[in-house]
Structure 1
């Protein structure tokens, strides 16, 4: 596991579309090490017993309105205390003008002052989501991540079993590659696991005998994605007569990655099997199950109905057989009775 230690303010500005009021030349020098964002309401009143200086300081309508009622000296003193060397940036929402005292204090410490047209809640959400994605704990997994019919499928298996070749066939069939060989995964929320490629391997695919190919160059931009949700793990395993594989579709397992359980399917690899088509079928079947249709349940229902019908037919045949036996017994009994003339 590893962490991305920080994100530059310049990246935040680019990815959340912030305006720069001051400090454009300092954007690359300032870094953000936490996804938490501070709303400095108590600080404006002079309370600095706990001031999270390492966080981005977000000022909305409430904070700006309160600052307008403060004297110039008092507001400048408060802003100077808020402008710490570790403070990455100030953000003013709702297209409000930053106070002159903030700009003056920020210039002294070379802290960028940014702005947004969005409301405080919206820009807070956008910045938090971006920073959580970038600063989340990551795990590097051995496998291939592909997008098949909109589902993120992580293909795993022993080295040399054919993961990359299967991914190449899937790309040729119109699906998209996210990562080959090494997949970086991180938990986005309680139920979502995201995956992407390390920067050095992005858009690249290694095929034994050919070498490394650039998928985007050969197949176009529609053949790649930067990241996707990990919906399903498909494990490729060498086929042996002793190994037991699921044949009915009711043996789905789970892989626990971080705090998320991801469904796992094991597919046997054997000469002559088209793994790309099998993975496509697995993806479509998984989607059908997610929508409430389960072929295994249909098979079980049909089997139970067949057993019920056969049981009814067996009972009917037994009843008919008992009736025939009873009638034959009666006939035999009548034949054994002496005739009236013989009495």
Structure 2
């Protein structure tokens, strides 16, 4: 799907799923789907609101009935207020048709007028979902994006370190490929990053020595997934002996990577001959799932050790005092 950056492209892309149609002739020039600078908090789409008008106003059965029950003068005033806010478009849902007075006012104000066969709630939800992603802050990262044990995992590392080979082994073990080489990530909510594959690279995984593989064709539909939320970054790195000795033996190489302003947990896996990286990665994901649930094995061990030392302290102090007396 092309980027939805104008009203015309929105209708072209979503006319079938949203049952959209032009009630008036579409404007010749593209109408950008952006919030005006003077009102940055204005909602992009929502049911008709004349106090805090939406950029795209939806008129459903309730709003239509409300307008119909008004005195003609009050109705004319209300409709004028709808267009005074200069909405990008007004959409009638539930197969409703605007009355001649509303249509004439839209033509006079040169405001696009559309209709939809969906009910108003479904239409608002669909448009909010589509436009939230369309206008989300986004970035393309180098790596392999997979779903491992139900968690979105980005596999990163230097070129040639074995990311694709590890991804292929994980796919063979039942996990799913989302994107290879250039996954796209978008911040679709304050604490949610959604990742997906560019259409050109969908289903493909490049493995050195084997070339480009079509994972869907080789492993079936269950081996690929369209999108997932990024929850963990796994970094593959070759350590020298001194660097490896400096790794925390209790907590491991756990840190965070900032992506689109969100701190994403990152675990570094040392790469060395003979290490079963697939098992290590699966275990890292399981460990992160436990952390999300509130359990940390390293903290648990430290707590047990502290409790044991506290319980044995009186006996140890008495024994030490006795030895001091004999010396």
Q: Give the TM-score of the pair, scaled to structure 2.
A: 0.78
The 1:318/1:218 distance shift into structure 2, 3 A limit, reads: same
> Structure 1: how far apart are the matches of 2:156 and 2:22?
49
Mapped pair 1:98 → 2:106:
no
Q: Decide whether the 8 Å contact of 2:256 with 2:266 is kept in 1.
A: yes
- 2:40 equivalent in structure 1: none
Q: Decide whether the 8 Å contact of 2:156 with 2:163 is kept in 1.
A: yes
Which of 258, 268, 274 is equivalent to 2:270? 268
Structure index of larger Rg:
1
Could you list the runs of 5+ residues in structure 2 that have no partner in the other structure?
35-42
Deviation at 1:92, TM superposition (A): 2.6
- 1:141 equivalent in structure 2: 141
Q: Decide whether the 8 Å contact of 2:139 with 2:186 is kept in 1.
A: yes
CA offsets per residue over residues 83-132 of structure 1, 9 Å max, x none?
9xx97654334x3622232567779988542232243xx53233112211
Alignment of 1:206-217 (within 5 A): 206-217=206-217
Which of 4, 9, 12 is equivalent to 2:11? 9
Deviation at 1:32, TM superposition (A): 6.0
Which of 269, 287, 290 is equivalent to 1:288? 290
> Structure 1: how far apart are the matches of 2:49 and 2:319?
85
The 1:60/1:170 distance shift into structure 2, 3 A limit, reads: same
Which of 257, 261, 266 is equivalent to 2:259? 257
Could you list the runs of 5+ residues in structure 1 that have no partner in the other structure?
44-49, 327-343
Q: Decide whether the 8 Å contact of 1:103 with 1:113 is kept in 2.
A: no
> Structure 1: how far apart are the matches of 2:25 and 2:275?
58
The 1:307/1:41 distance shift into structure 2, 3 A limit, reads: closer
> Structure 2: how far apart are the matches of 1:38 and 1:320?
80
The 1:105/1:10 distance shift into structure 2, 3 A limit, reads: farther
> Structure 2: how far apart are the matches of 1:209 and 1:173?
21
- 1:279 equivalent in structure 2: 281
> Structure 1: how far apart are the matches of 2:169 and 2:204?
14
Q: Give the TM-score of the pair, scaled to structure 1.
A: 0.75
- 1:225 equivalent in structure 2: 225
> Structure 2: how far apart are the matches of 1:276 and 1:303?
31
Alignment of 1:32-43 (within 5 A): 33-34=33-34, 36-37=44-45, 39-42=47-50
Which of 112, 115, 118 is equivalent to 1:116? 118
- 2:38 equivalent in structure 1: none
> Structure 2: how far apart are the matches of 1:24 and 1:206?
49
- 2:39 equivalent in structure 1: none
> Structure 2: how far apart are the matches of 1:40 and 1:311?
71
Q: Decide whether the 8 Å contact of 2:183 with 2:196 is kept in 1.
A: yes
> Structure 1: how far apart are the matches of 2:53 and 2:313?
76
